[in-house]
Every structure is written in structure tokens, then in C-alpha cells.
Chains A and B, each alone.
Chain A
């Protein structure tokens, strides 16, 4: 299944950057989640985009929203990349390329790494897909303003007290 808005994403289970197995629902932990399928540490576009997302994490911490990355890098590589970025969000490793095929997100133009096609999903806490961004071209990826808008929309729908009636 290629992720589509309105459908539910499977509760993907993968090792995180420390090697611990995590379910996506545990990463969301009841909050809206921005999930980034990323090529890997080697890609200059990923480096640039994840620096942008690292800057966004300060805001997410006080916004009751989550951010996570899935790539084909092994956990130890993700840990180093994450530390270099200064990121405090969770990286999930699909080094075995289990989900890249199931989700039909293989980037077939990279025959060296066989990575994910850069894709960003905005999810509600129950993993319903609310928005899909195809980031094959860099400008297709969501910036902070895009995610702020999307996560606001999800928050308004799931938080009864988001706005006073």
C-alpha cells in the first residue's frame, strides 16, 4: 500500500536509533505525529531538511506533537547522524528494507542504497494519514509552516479544548 490520505498507516514496528524495538503508536503516544521517510544520512537534501526539522523540535516540545524519521540507515548510523544534528526526536531503522517494499516507497532511482523515496506523512494519534508530502523534489517536502498548519488541524480535531466554544 502506498500511503494515502484518509487511510490508516500500519503500526510499524522497527528498532529505534538505540536499537530498541518501537511501535509507531508508541512513538505517537497520543499526539499528532509528523513522520518523515528519509533516504539516509548521506543525502545532502536529507541533511538540510532534517536540520530544518531539528530547529522545529523546540516548538513541537511545547505543542504536544511528535516528529519521527524512518530511514534505511542502521541504528548506530542513525544515532551518530541524530547526535550530529542535535535532534531529540526518534529515528526508526528499516535497514532490512522490510517496510520500504510494503509501503511501496522504494526510491528506484537510487540503485546504490535502495532507500525510501522521501515522503512525509502527517498522522493523527491513531495513525490515520491526514496529509502526504512527496519529497522526491526538495520543494515537495513540508517546511515548518506546512507542518505547523497540518499539526494544528489535527490538534484541533482531537483536542476537545483546543478552541473555546
Chain B
């Protein structure tokens, strides 16, 4: 992946590990989540697959709905535990998953993003604290993973 839009950063996932560099599947994330002071030992719920065919369009109704659910109750449920949250973009139009990062274990089985791609819980030192988006969800077509980007 090259020519990243402003506000995006790359993240890799091989099904078991997250990394900023390497050969595994590449996703675009909201750059704020990986470009500040990282939270050591955070819990990352990665709702994505290493399979390159695992993708949906952002316009898919279920992709729209999980973001609404995140705003409605998932983010409030996480409370102060939330470190950051980002969808995983493959390009301007395609969704590859999402990551919710918390400082401590939370009820991952309720993560709405796991309805699309199953979740894997990992410990990670990559992610930084980013305030969750203010609602309502506003669609962006700037090519940056939600909730980042601007119009």
C-alpha cells in the first residue's frame, strides 16, 4: 500500500500479531491511534482477518450499522477503559475490520465490530490514547479510516 492519504497510517496483522512493519496484511488506520505516546500493554480487540479477501465496502449496511452501534453503546460501555478505536481501511472504499483498544479487559463478546469479522484479543504497545469520535456518526470519503479524516 502506498500514497497514504493525510491522516492515515499503516498497520499490519497476520491473524495473531499486530505490527507497524512487516510482510503481513496491510490496513490503513486513523493515524492518531499510532502516532502519539503509546499505552504499554493495552488490550487490542482486532476484528479482522489476515485473509486478503475478507473485505466489505464501507457503504455496506452492516458496516454502517456497527459504527452507529459503536457510537450508541459500545463506546459508552467501555467508559474510561477505552484507549482508541479505529476501523481498518483497505482503500477509499473498502472496510477490512476494526480495532478497539482498551487499558484493561472488557466484555469483548459485545463488540459490535465482531459481527462482521471475528475478534482476536492481543496485548499491544502500539496504540495511543485518542478521544472517541463525537456523534452522530458522520460518513467521510477522504480515504482515512473512521473516525479519522476530514471533509
Are A88 and B68 within 8 A (Cβ)? yes
Q: Verify B138–A66 contact, CB threshold 8 A.
A: yes
- 8 A-B pairs with least C-beta separation: A88-B71, A27-B134, A88-B135, A57-B136, A90-B134, A88-B136, A89-B135, A89-B136
Additional pairs, 14, CB under 8 Å, beyond known A17-B76, A22-B134 = A18-B79, A18-B80, A18-B132, A26-B131, A29-B133, A31-B138, A31-B151, A57-B136, A66-B138, A68-B134, A83-B76, A86-B72, A88-B71, A89-B134
**Does residue A95 face the partner (Cβ distance < 8 Å to B)?**
no
- How many B residues have CB within 8 A of the partner chain? 19
Q: Which of B62-91 contact A (CB under 8 A)?
A: 68, 71-73, 75-76, 79-80
Q: A19-B79, A83-B73, A87-B72 are in contact. Are A62 and B139 (CB under 8 A)?
A: yes
Chain A, residues 13-24, CB within 8 Å of chain B (1/0): the string is 000111110100
In angstroms, Cα B64 to Cα A57, docked, is 14
Enumerate A66-119 residues with CB–CB distance to B below 8 Å.
Answer: 66-68, 79, 82-83, 86-90
Given contacts A22-B134, A64-B151, contact A88 B72 (CB under 8 A): yes
25 contacts between A and B (CB under 8 A): A18-B75, A18-B76, A18-B79, A18-B132, A19-B80, A20-B132, A26-B131, A29-B138, A30-B150, A30-B151, A57-B136, A60-B136, A60-B138, A61-B68, A61-B136, A61-B138, A61-B139, A62-B139, A64-B138, A64-B151, A67-B136, A68-B134, A87-B135, A88-B72, A90-B135
Distance, CA A94 to CA B105, complexed state (A): 31
Render B131-151 as a binary contact track against A, CB cut-off 8 A, 1 for contact.
111111111000000000011
Interface size class of A (residues with CB under 8 A): 20 to 34
Q: How far is the CB of B130 from chain A (nearest CB, A)?
A: 11
B-binding residues in A (CB < 8 A): 16-20, 22, 26-27, 29-31, 57, 60-62, 64-68, 79, 82-83, 86-90
